[in-house]
Amino acid sequence: MDCETCREALSARLDGEAEPGPAAEVDAHLGQCAACTRRRTRAQALTRTARADEPHHGPGHGDGPPQGRRRGGPRHLRPTAHRRAA
């Protein structure tokens, strides 16, 4: 296996996608190639960092106002008919 194919396979592996070649060949190449092993280590660290920085969105994210809060803010801050008329 060449380094370019190994890099593509590592990228696919980290993304949970199908690898372009047999995993055993990728692993064998990693056992022999220090450059690809370093690349894998850096890519794994970058992936962990990126995933850790992603905000966690619970169920219903983007479906309206956050649960437990009324639309429009606290009642004492919302405009009322007598406040608007003044």
Q: Which amino acid is at 23?
A: A
Residue span of the structural domain in which 33 resides: 3-53
Phi, psi of 82 (to 5 degrees): -70, -30
Instruction: Name the domain count of the chain.
Output: 1
Cβ atoms 56, 26 nearer than 8 A? no
Residue 13 lies in a domain: yes
User: What is the number of other CB atoms lying within 10 angstroms of the CB of residue 10?
Assistant: 20
pLDDT tens track for 44-65: 998 888 877 666 665 555 555 5
Place of tokens 């992603």: 54
Residue 71 lies in a domain: no
Residue 84 lies in a domain: no
Q: Which amino acid is at 4?
A: E
Residue 29 lies in a domain: yes
> pTM for the full model?
0.57
- Residue of 39, 16, 36, 34 lying closest to 26 (CA atoms): 36
Residue 59 lies in a domain: no
Residue 77, pLDDT above cutoff 70: no
